[in-house]
Every structure is written in C-alpha cells, then in structure tokens.
C-alpha cells in the first residue's frame, strides 16, 4: 500500500481540514503557524526527530538534546520570532539515566542560550517490534512571539535571494561519518551537523526587511522551492554565489554541489528581500562580525516570474538534478 506522495502532498491531501477556528491563523505548510491570540501574535512549530532517521544510532545524547531544540528554534527564526517557551514529548526505549542526564544537559544549554523555558511535556516508552524497543523519538513544540511574522509567502519579482552561513557542511559530515564519501570528518564539519545554530537574531532582523523566509532543513533548493511555490514565483540562482567552507571547497564539484544544493540539515535561513535592503543586510553582517560572530550573508539570485534557473560563475546553465530531503518521496513499498 505504499505510495510516492511528498510530505507537502500528504499534508494537503489528508490534513488540510479547513475547520473554521476562533483564532485567525495562517494555515498549514510554513515553518511555523502564525496565530493571533488577542493582541499577541504567536509563531508555533512542532518537529519530531528520531534515532535512525535524524540522528545516527550512536549519537551523543548531549548533542541530541542541543539539536532537538535548535531545529525547532530554527523554525521560529524563519518566522522572525522571539522564542518564548517549548514543550517536550520524549519516547524512550528505557530509563537510561546516563543518557537522560546528558540529553537534558544539552537541551538545557540551548534553552538557556535562547531564554526559552521548558514548560510541559510527556514521557512514554517507544513501541516494540517483536522483542525490541524502537530507539528514541523526540517531539518538541516551540512557541515564539512575532510582530508581523515572516512566512514562505510574499516573495516579489525582482527581489534578491539571500542565504546565511556556509551551507553543505552538515551533509558533508553525514557522508563522511557513514563512509559514503572518503575522508576524515574534522571537528568543524562534525560541529555543523551536531550543533547547528538557530539564526534567532538574524530572523528578528529579517522580520523588518524580508518578503519571505524559510530555514534550510531539507536542502537549499527544496526550501527555496517552498518559498517559490507559496509565493507563486520563480528564481534565477548563481550556485557559485553560495558561501562554501574550506572543507567543502576541497571536495569534487559534484559532491560540493550535492551538499550545498540538496544536503539539508543546515538550519541556515534563505530569504527574499527588495534590492533596497542590501545595505541593511551588509550592515547586519558587519555588526555581527564586530561582535565576534563570523556571519556571512550571501546574495545568490533574483526572483523571476516563474521557473527555476540555476547558473554558475561562467554564466552556464546548470541542470537541476539535485533532490532535497523528503521522508516519503523516494519510498517504493
């Protein structure tokens, strides 16, 4: 009974109930739902991460704790939100005190860094398959506050396309660790995969300038693609304008492009903004660097009426053969 629905198709086919609500909301399909509660506007997101799907089976529990909250805060960042609180639903195979201690230490570190208290949750045992318990699974719901709130909708023809950070290293780490690519996984590269930094300050800044925004969780082209679909526009992108780490620059061109365009798990932001906002972007970048954060913002393309055109520095068009991450799309059961 398997099928090839993408996550987006699955949601629109089965879960777009259109039940009228008391609160005004901006439906399903963005990084966050934006909900108007009295005079306050909330951004709310929920994400599940599981061992074997989002984490390697032997992942350090401290890292698991940090990253599970970070990926949810990244969704809040994409909405331009100030994090306010979160809820944790933890499914564990057993009460492993050492694992729990390290996990909670990691979770707490990220929660403290972003002043985001844990205010509720649930713990259960994971399901059994035959005699074995399934490994851990963690669902976090994070709530933030926005002024207006950024979504994937709103990109205008003529807008610049921007990306934060050097995307691709998280994917490089995964390939090296699983032995699919040859080479040593350096500490910096491992860090990109294990300890992504949610771009909370950048997101709040972008709330004043961006016309649309998403976080890069499933791969740059896929997450940009979500903006294009939701905004009913196209894009022309110079893929050589994406900032690249030294580690990734040392790989072959094909590996580099695969990692940067389709890799995912970066938790950087991709957004669109009027060309008039360029000076403000550079100013934000400069201020961050003066404060010791080596932030890089890359202007990588332009919004066009439709289609997706990829070019490189030589001006040649590049075939888009890169597929971002989709949990269900490549299944063939």
> Taking CB under 8 A as the criterion, which residues in 31-60 touch a second copy?
32-33, 35, 37-40, 42, 44-54
Is 25 one of the binding residues for a second copy (CB under 8 A)? yes
Segment 260-279, which members bind a second copy (CB under 8 A)?
none
Nearer to a second copy, 117 or 307 (CB): 117
State how far the alpha carbon of 147 is from the alpha carbons of 69, 205, 206, in Å.
22, 11, 12
Minimum distance from residue 219 beta carbon to a second copy (Å):
16
159 marked among binding-site residues = no
Q: Are 222 and 167 in contact (CB under 8 A)?
A: no
Nearer to a second copy, 36 or 283 (CB): 36
104 marked among binding-site residues = no
Q: DSSP assignment, residue 260? A: H
Minimum distance from residue 163 beta carbon to a second copy (Å):
23
Give the list of residues 6+ apart from residue 287 with CB closer than 8 angstroms, or none. Answer: none
Segment 301-330, which members bind a second copy (CB under 8 A)?
327-328
Minimum distance from residue 141 beta carbon to a second copy (Å):
4
Strand partners, 122: 89
Segment 106-135, which members bind a second copy (CB under 8 A)?
107-108, 111-112, 115-130, 132, 134-135
Is 101 one of the binding residues for a second copy (CB under 8 A)? yes
Give the list of residues 6+ apart from residue 235 with CB closer than 8 angstroms, or none. Answer: 161, 224, 228, 301, 302, 303, 304, 307, 308, 309
217 marked among binding-site residues = yes
Q: Is 113 exposed, middle or buried (0-12, 13-18, 19+ CB in 10 A)?
A: middle
Nearer to a second copy, 2 or 292 (CB): 2
What pairing do the DSSP bridges indicate for beta strands 234-238 and 118-125?
unpaired
Angle at 205 between CA 34 and CA 225, to 5 degrees: 60
Q: Which of 99, 205, 220, 322 binds a second copy (CB under 8 A)?
A: 99
Strand partners, 85: 143
- Got the DSSP string for 78-130? HTTPEEEEEEEEEEESS--HHHHHHHHHHHHHHHHHTT--EEEEEEEEPPEET
Minimum distance from residue 191 beta carbon to a second copy (Å):
24
Residue numbers in the known binding site for Mg(2+) are: 31, 45-47, 75, 122, 215, 218
Residue numbers in the known binding site for ATP are: 121-122, 152, 217
Residue numbers in the known binding site are: 31, 45-47, 54, 75, 121-122, 152, 215, 217-218, 265, 325
């Amino acid at each position: 009974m398997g099928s090839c629905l993408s996550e987006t198709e699955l949601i629109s086919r089965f879960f777009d109930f259109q039940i009228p609500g008391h609160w005004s909301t901006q439906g399903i399909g963005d990084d966050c739902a934006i909900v108007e509660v009295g005079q306050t506007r909330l951004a709310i997101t929920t994400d599940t991460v599981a061992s074997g799907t989002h984490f390697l089976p032997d992942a350090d529990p401290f890292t698991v704790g940090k990253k599970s909250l970070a990926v949810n805060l990244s969704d809040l960042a994409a909405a331009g939100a100030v994090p306010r609180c979160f809820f944790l639903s933890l499914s564990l195979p057993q009460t492993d005190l050492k694992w729990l201690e390290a996990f909670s230490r990691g979770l707490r570190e990220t929660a403290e860094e972003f002043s985001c208290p844990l205010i509720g949750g649930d713990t259960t045992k994971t399901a059994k398959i035959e005699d074995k318990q399934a490994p851990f699974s963690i669902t976090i719901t994070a709530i933030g506050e926005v002024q207006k709130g950024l979504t994937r909708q709103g990109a205008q023809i003529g807008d610049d396309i921007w990306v934060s950070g050097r995307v691709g290293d998280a994917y490089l780490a995964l390939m090296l660790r699983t032995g699919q690519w040859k080479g040593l996984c350096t500490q910096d590269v491992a860090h990109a995969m294990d300890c992504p930094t949610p771009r909370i300050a950048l997101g709040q800044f972008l709330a004043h300038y961006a016309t649309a925004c998403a976080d890069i969780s499933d791969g740059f082209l896929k997450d940009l693609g979500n903006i294009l679909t939701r905004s009913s526009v196209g894009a022309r992108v110079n893929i050589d304008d994406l900032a690249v780490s030294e580690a990734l620059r040392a790989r072959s061109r094909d590996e580099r492009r695969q990692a940067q365009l389709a890799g995912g798990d970066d938790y950087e932001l991709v957004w669109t903004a009027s060309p008039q906002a360029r000076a403000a972007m550079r100013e934000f970048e400069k201020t961050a660097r003066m404060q010791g954060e080596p932030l890089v913002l890359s202007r990588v393309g332009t919004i066009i009426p439709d289609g997706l055109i990829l070019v490189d520095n030589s001006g040649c068009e590049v075939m888009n053969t890169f597929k971002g991450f989709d949990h269900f799309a490549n299944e063939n059961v």
